[in-house]
A and B are shown apart, each in its own frame.
Chain A
Amino acid sequence: MLGRKATWSLKSGRLHLGAGWQYAVFLEVMPKKVVILGGGTGGTLTANRLRRSALPGGLDITVVDQDDRHVYQPGLLFVPFGLMNPEDIVKPRSRQLRPGITFRNSDIDHVDVEANEVRLSDGSALAYDVLVVATGAVLVPEETEGLTGPGWMEKMFTFYTPEGARALATALGTFDGGRVVVNVVDMPIKCPVAPIEFCFLADWFFCRRGIRDRVQLTLVTPLDGAFTKPVCNARLSGMLKAKGIELLTEFNTGVVDGVKGELVAYDGRKAPFDLAVVVPLHEGAAYVGRSRGLGDELNFVPTDEHTLQSKVAPNVFVIGDAADVLASKAGSVAHFEGETLVGNIERYLGGEPLEPGFDGHANCFIESGFHKALLVDFNYETEPLPGHFPTRAGLPLLKESRLNHLGKLMFRWLYWHVLLPGRDIPGVGSKMPVAGKKALTSVGSRKDRL
C-alpha cells in the first residue's frame, strides 16, 4: 500500500489511509439488499439479527408482509378456553422490527428466482442480493370436502386462527354435552403437539364446568399414535387414556359432513361428532406456487436441512415453516434456526463456505391441563427423552409439572422481548443440549420417522 499505513474499517466499509496523505480516500461499499418475505417469527428474528450484521457496507433490509398483524400463535391454544383474549396476542409486525429495517405492507405476487426480484401485487419490484423466505404455512380448509360447508364455524371450528379460536370459545362455553372430536386432517401441521394439548385442556375445561361425564372426547389422527416418536408417544398415549380421551389412529379424513355430524375417512370409517375441532390441511404460501421453480407440490421450499440455504438458488434462504425440512413446524425451531441462517447469509455474502449448523432442534411445552405442562426437547437425530432441560438442574422433560406450566406462560414474554428481537435465551443454545437427558443411546434414529 505505497509504504503507508492503511486501515480497513469493517463497520463503515471505508478504507482509511494513514496520516500524512493530503487526501483521505474513501472506498464506499454498497449495502447488500436483503429481502425477507414474511414478518412472522422467522422473518422478524432474521431481520433483527441481520440488522446487527457487521458486513462491510451494512445491509439494506426489507421485510414484506400482507398485513401488519403479528399473532403470537402459541396463545391461540388458550383462547377457546377463555384463558387468553385474541386481542392480547396480536401486535403490529412493523413495531417488532429494529429501526433501520424497512417494512412493506403488501401482497406478494411472485418471486422471479432467475432475475433476483420479488414482484409485489401492486406491480412494483424489489431486487435482492439475498432472499429469505419466511412466509410460513397457511391453512387450506377448503381442500377438505365439506369442511367449509354447512356447519363451518357453527359446529366445526379450528383454533389455528384468531377468528376460529374466538368462535370456538363461544361454542365451548355453551356446549352442554355430546361428542367432541379433535381432528388432524393430515400432516404436516404447525405445532404438532397442539391438538393433544387441546384435548388435555378440553378435559380440564369440561371438568371445571362440571360436565366432563357428559362429554365424549376423541383425538382423531392420521398418525399411528398420538405422537410419532416411541418414548413420547407412550407417555402421551398413557396420559390420554388416563384422562378418558379416546384415540382414533390412521384416520385419513376425506369428508367432514356438518349436516350428519361425522368425519368420514377415505377408508370408509366414520367418527360422529356434535362439535368438531379440526386442524385443516397446511401448505406453503400461495405466491410460492406462482413462483416458477421455488416450491414443491405443497408450496414448501426445498431447503438444505443443516445450512438452511434453499435448493432453488444459492442466494435464497429459508427459515421456519416455509421450508420442507423434517423439523417440527414451530416457533422454537425458527428461533434455533436463526443463528445458523444469519451466519450463513453473512458467509454467503462474504464469499465463504456455509456451515451446516442447524441440527433440527425443537423445544415445546405441552400444556396438560390443571395448571401443569410437559416439556419435550429433540432434534433430527434424537427423539424426545426424559431427563431435565437444559441441564440436570433444569426443567423436567416428558413429565408433568407446574414449573413447566409456568415456563409456558413465561414464554409469551420471552417471545416478544427475546425471540423476536433476535436475542439468545440465556443458558439455552441453538443446538440440542444432551447434558440432562436419559437413555440417549440407540433410540430415535431418523429412520424411525413416519
Chain B
Amino acid sequence: MTMMTIADSDVELNPEGFFVHPEQWTEEMAPELARREGIDPLTDAHWTVIRFMRAEYLEKGTGPTVRVLGKTSGVSIKELYQLFPKGPAKTAAKIAGIPKPRGCI
C-alpha cells in the first residue's frame, strides 16, 4: 500500500493505484487523479462517468465493467474509450476513488 497526498489530503492507494478506502475520496481530488492518468482537463462527460461509477459502487459494492457501463451510463463504449483511452472502467474507477471493478473468473 502507498500513502499519497492528493488535494492536500492523505489517502491510501493499493499497488495498482486504486483507493483502499473509498471514503477518503472527495471531488476535489478528481482533477489531480485524472492528471496522473493523463487526462486533463476533466470535462462534463468525464464527470458523468465518474459520478455514475461512484454511485454504482456505493449501491452495489463494485464499480461496473466497461460493458455494463456502456449499457447503463448513457455513454457508449466507443465514447467511453475516447474519454478514458487507457480503459474506461479501470481509469474512471481510479479517478472516482473506488476499488478495481470486479469481473468474473
Contacts and interface: CB of A to CB of B under 8 A. Distances in A.
A266 B104 contact: no
Contacts of B105: 192, 227-229, 326, 328, 449-450
A187 B65 contact: yes
A187 B68 contact: no
Nearest to B66: A252
A250 interface: yes
Interface residues of B, number: 20
Nearest to A325: B104
Interface string B63-97: 00111100110000110110001110000000000
Contact of B87 (A188, A228, A267, A326): A267
Given A187-B65, A267-B87, A447-B99, A326 B77 contact: no
A187 B104 contact: yes
Nearest to A193: B105
Contacts of B85: 267
Interface in A116-139: none
Contacts of A447: 99
A178 B66 CA distance: 32
Contacts of A326: 102, 104-105
Q: How large is the interface on A (under 10, 10 to 19, 20 to 34, 35 or more residues)?
A: 20 to 34
A187 to B, nearest CB: 4
A192 B103 CA distance: 12
A112 interface: no
Contacts of A352: none
B102 A450 contact: yes
Contact of A266 (B71, B77, B103): B77
Contacts of B102: 326, 449-450
A250 B80 CA distance: 15
B100 interface: yes
Contacts of A250: 87
16 contacts: A192-B105, A228-B103, A228-B105, A229-B105, A252-B87, A254-B81, A266-B66, A266-B78, A281-B67, A297-B71, A298-B67, A298-B68, A326-B105, A447-B99, A449-B102, A449-B103
Ranked nearest first, the 3 interchain pairs of A and B with the lowest CB-CB distance are A188-B104, A266-B81, A187-B103
Given A297-B71, A449-B105, 9 more contacts: A186-B66, A188-B103, A192-B104, A223-B103, A252-B66, A266-B81, A267-B81, A326-B105, A450-B103
